[in-house]
Chain A
Amino acid sequence: MAQRQVLLIEDEPHIAEAIRFILGRAGWQVMLETNGGEALARIAGLRPEAVILDLMLPGRSGLEILTDLRADPGLAATPVLMLTARGQARDREAAEQAGATAFLAKPFANADLVAALEALAGAGAANGAAAAVAAPGRR
């Protein structure tokens, strides 16, 4: 059985390493991208089942990446789990508007991360439903 792929876009090396370990144990193959500017090209090249996107990236904010992703007809259906800072309600609002599929606040419990990703990818895997997953954010 082919491993399920998730692309992690995160610039903090220690957080990225922990996420990689946690999801690896849960049966995911985790690809890492640390540069916000390269994120879109990586998504287009890898076509991962889901994307975990940090809101605060150097060079290019997660919001900009998400906006462009949703505007690209070929990639718009990709489920995106957005990592936001706890207590930053404004960030979350902005991410919601930009079209995030789900959120996880930092710091998070490891089990919550796995559960959030499973829920997200589960919904996306029901193929035709993929477009609907992206839809809630496009209000």
Chain B
Amino acid sequence: MARSALTGTRIRERRTALHVKQADLARGVGISAAYLNLIEHNRRRVGDDLLETLARALGVEPVALSEGAEAVLFDGLREAAAGAEKAGPELERIEEFVGRFPGWAAVLADRQARVGALERVVEGYAERMAQDPFLLDNLHEVLSAVTSLRSTAAILAETEDIEPEWRSRFLRTMAEESLRLSGTAESLVGYLDEMETAETGLAAPLEQLETWLAGRDWHLAELETGAPPAPEALIEGVPELASAAARELALAHVARAAAEARALPLAAFSDALVELGPEPGLLAARFGVPVGMVFRRLATLPPGLPGRVPAGLVACDGSGTLTLRRPVPGFAPPRFGAACPLWPLYEALARPSQPVRAVIDVAGRLPARFLAYAWCAQHPVGGFDGPVLREAMMLLLPAPPGREGTERAVGSSCRICPRAGCPGRREPSILPER
């Protein structure tokens, strides 16, 4: 593997190109020829001052002689060194290492990058498991069954003078709870089987995009600068975006986010938020932008921004298929399959360009309330003869305090919704009804 971009090597290349003798250059910058020789063979580190002097003598910018393209390699090696648990490697000889063993150095840096990527993937999975409504509900079922089994069994074992009626009652409890436990286990296995099949479907690329965004708190800070990078540059080498389909989705998302960052600059948007509150309609009017743009911006603001409130977001196309899911604690959109038909999102889809606002009560492990704003935009593509595409979005903000009794009872998806007697139910739930 040819590596000619090391500082020492570059100095040597530049010097020979200028036909300057090693001894002459050394004298010119006030060091010994032997020392320069060591530098040129990457055996000694070049301090900043000396690098500047050498660059001046060679008629180039200092940056042209420094790590440059190798910076990534050096960063990777330093990262690996920082993560070393045993006594650290010889950091001061890092250039020598790269100079003498470029292949091994590249392998090490590569491994380091791979480890980092895998760590992020693991974090993504952990996050996902913690948010999966079905797994959470099943866990609750298991825990409840185990709790009553444990207490009941202890009563039977420890109470010597227990009355016969109580004894038979508790024995019945144990029989029932055992059945419930095995039923839950069965549905859990069924769910995991189904999940595996669904993973290979269309949901997977979207999930990859969402895992990447979740790892970044859903905010792409690079886009807030005056000269944001191209979408392609931003997603290059991102380990979460493993499939081509996911990268395609990510490109579209980044392009939209960049437009949003331009139209709704962070500082001005924050000021408006503080002044007007998180009312998407008012904010859209203030900035003269589509409502959907404000929805997306509100759901992707950096944590800590003045005026920001925690916001969840779901978007769907004209078929009702979810195209983006940004969860918030208490609201976990279904990972695959269709969502709850009672979501204000679908009401908006049926009434394009009309605002929908409602307080919703989401069934789940812990009931949670949100103030939901929904809006559907229409995009005629291809002129008067072309199709009109719809995109509906629903923004979830913290609900006002106090229960009104007029909240809309919704869920995540029928299969994992425990609401008994729901008028919108499409298929039976695999959870016990509540």
Contacts and interface: CB of A to CB of B under 8 A. Distances in A.
Contacts of B169: 17
B177 interface: yes
A110 B158 contact: yes
Interface string B80-110: 0000000000000000000000000000000
A61 B366 contact: yes
Interface in A4-26: 11-12, 14-15, 17-19, 21-22, 25
A107 B418 CA distance: 23
Contacts of A12: 144, 147-148
B320 to A, nearest CB: 28
B197 interface: no
Contacts of B146: 106-107
Interface string A59-87: 11101100000000000000000000110
B152 to A, nearest CB: 5
Contacts, number: 69
Nearest to A106: B147
Contact of B143 (A11, A14, A25, A107): A107
Interface size class of B (residues with CB under 8 A): 20 to 34
B196 to A, nearest CB: 25
Nearest to A14: B148
With most chain B CB atoms within 10 A of its CB, the pick from A17, A59, A108 is A17
Nearest to B146: A107
Contacts of A14: 148, 152, 173, 176-177
Nearest to B130: A90
B150 interface: yes
A55 interface: yes
Contacts of A58: 367, 418, 434
B286 interface: no
Contacts of A18: 148, 151-152, 155, 170, 173
Nearest to A94: B366
Contacts of B177: 14
Contacts of B149: 107
Question: DSSP majority for the B interface?
Answer: helix
Contacts of B139: 85
Contact of B154 (A85, A86, A110): A110
A77 B143 CA distance: 30
A78 B144 CA distance: 26
A19 B173 CA distance: 13
Contacts of A91: 366
B147 A21 contact: no
B319 interface: no
Contacts of B173: 14, 17-18
A15 B367 contact: no
B200 interface: no
B406 interface: no
Contact of B140 (A17, A64, A85, A107): A85
Contacts of A113: 151
A61 B144 contact: no
Contacts of B148: 12, 14-15, 18
Interface of B: 139-140, 143-144, 146-152, 154-155, 158-159, 166, 169-170, 173, 176-177, 365-368, 403, 418, 434
Interface of A: 11-12, 14-15, 17-19, 21-22, 25, 55-56, 58-61, 63-64, 85-86, 91, 106-110, 113
5 contacts: A15-B144, A19-B151, A64-B403, A107-B147, A113-B151
Counting from the closest, the 6 A-B pairs by CB-CB distance are A18-B151, A14-B148, A107-B147, A58-B434, A106-B147, A107-B150
